[in-house]
Amino acid sequence: MVTARPGRVRALVRVTGLHGVVVVRAGRPGAPLSDTLRTGVAALRPIERDAFVFLGDMPDMDPGVPRRLIRAGRGRAGIVRPRHRGTPGHPVLACGVRTIAIGQGDRGFRPDPARVRWIAGGAGCVADIDRRRDLRAVARRGVRASG
């Protein structure tokens, strides 16, 4: 997990009893998405070939999406990604992550378009909370309970 606050995240991982979670400090504060992706990919062990990219501010995501991404990505190389009404969403599953180009700045993975597989993700896969008004919009809709 790449985060700007590794101490807080490590404490949460300990409290929840999760095993195998590696917490890595993100680059400088405000670093672009591409730097965060490179940091995460560099932290993978050689045996780890695939990686999820979750955003930390998506409380309305359908908890079944990651399972559907895994099923759709079995035996593939490239990106498996949800979308809603044509809008790309998150999380993203990068299969064969070291073979996928990473963009510059706030551009994420730049795969060959032929290596992208899309699944239906629902409205929650595109509801990113970056501003207070985004949070208010999600609160008005009501956040689903995960699990």
Count of structural domains within the chain: 1
Domain carrying residue 113: 47-141
Does residue 146 register a pLDDT over 60?
Answer: no
Residue 29 resides in a domain: no
Residues constituting the chain: 147
pLDDT greater at residue 142 or residue 57: 57
Give burial (CB, 10 Å; 0-12/13-18/19+) of 95. Answer: buried
Rounded-to-integer distance, Cα 33 and Cα 17, Å: 28
Task: Let me know if residue 8 belongs to a domain.
Answer: no
| Any domain includes 69 | yes
Does any domain span residue 76?
Answer: yes
Evaluate if residue 71 carries a pLDDT over 60: yes
Which ranges of the chain would DSSP assign to H, the alpha helix? 6-16, 33-43, 65-73, 132-141
Give the tens place of pLDDT for each residue, 83-104. 999 989 999 999 988 888 787 8
Q: What is the CATH number of the domain that holds 116?
A: 3.90.550.10
Which helix (H) or strand (E) is 83 found in, with range?
strand 78-84
pLDDT at 17: 81
Kindly report the average pLDDT of the chain as a whole number: 82
